[in-house]
Chain A
Amino acid sequence: MRRGSLLILGNGGAAISAAFSARASGYEGAIHLVSDFEGPAFNPVLAPYFLKGLIPWERCFPFGPGFYDSHDIKCHLGAAVESLDAVGREVVLADGRRLAYDKCLVATGASPVIPPVPGLAGSRRAFILRTADSAKRLNEVIRSAGRILVLGASFVGLKVAEVLVKRGIRVTLLDVASQVLPRSANPESAAMIQKLFETHGLDVRLGCAMDGMEGVDEGVVCHFSNHVIEEADLVMVCTGVRPNIDFVDRALVRIDQAILVDEHMETNVPGLYASGDASQGINLLTGRHEWLGTWENARLQGRIAGANMAGKDSRYPGSTPQNIGPFFDWTYAQLGNVHPDGGSVTPRIFGNPTKGGHLALYFQEDVLVGANLINCSRLAGILRKAIIQRKPWAKSLERSPTVEGIERALWRASDDLRGPALKRLFVLPA
Chain B
Amino acid sequence: MSQFAFSFDAARCSGCMACIVACQDQCDPTAEEQVAFRHVAKLESGAYPSARIDHFSLSCQHCGDAPCVAACPTAAISRRAEDGVVLVDRDLCVGCHSCELACPFGAPKFQEDGRMAKCDLCHVRREYGLKPACVLVCPSGALDAGPIEELSSRKAQRASVKILKSLIAFSSADK
Choose among B84, B104, B148 the residue with the greatest number of A CB atoms under 10 Å from its CB.
B104
B70 close to A326 (CB less than 8 A): no
Residues of A within 8 A of B64 (CB): 427-430
Given contacts A377-B100, A412-B42, A415-B45, 12 further A-B contacts (CB under 8 A): A46-B73, A55-B94, A303-B70, A324-B101, A381-B102, A381-B103, A381-B106, A381-B107, A415-B43, A417-B41, A426-B61, A427-B65
Residues of B within 8 A of A425 (CB): 104
Q: What's the minimum C-beta distance from B36 to chain A, rounded to whole angstroms?
A: 12
A411 close to B97 (CB less than 8 A): no
A335 within 8 A of B: yes
Given contacts A326-B114, A378-B106, A426-B63, A62 and B56 within 8 Å (CB-CB): no
B94 close to A296 (CB less than 8 A): no
- Which residues of A approach B to under 8 Å, CB–CB? 17, 43, 45-46, 49, 54-55, 59, 62-63, 295-296, 299-300, 303, 322, 324-326, 331, 333, 335, 377-382, 384-385, 408, 411-412, 414-415, 417-418, 425-430
Assembly CA distance A377 to B71 (angstroms): 15
For chain B, the bracket of interface size reads 35 or more
Residues of B within 8 A of A296 (CB): 67, 70-71, 98, 102
Chain A, Cβ-Cβ closest to B109: A378
Partner of B73 from A62, A333, A382, A414 at Cβ < 8 Å: A62
Residues of A within 8 A of B141 (CB): none
Chain A, Cβ-Cβ closest to B96: A325
Given contacts A381-B105, A428-B64, A418 and B100 within 8 Å (CB-CB): no
Assembly CA distance A429 to B148 (angstroms): 8
Q: What's the minimum C-beta distance from A377 to chain B, rounded to whole angstroms?
A: 5
Residues of A within 8 A of B42 (CB): 408, 411-412
Partner of B41 from A59, A331, A411 at Cβ < 8 Å: A411
Partner of B92 from A59, A408, A415 at Cβ < 8 Å: A59
Assembly CA distance A124 to B109 (angstroms): 43
A418 close to B97 (CB less than 8 A): no
Q: What's the minimum C-beta distance from A303 to chain B, rounded to whole angstroms?
A: 7
Residues of A within 8 A of B67 (CB): 296, 427
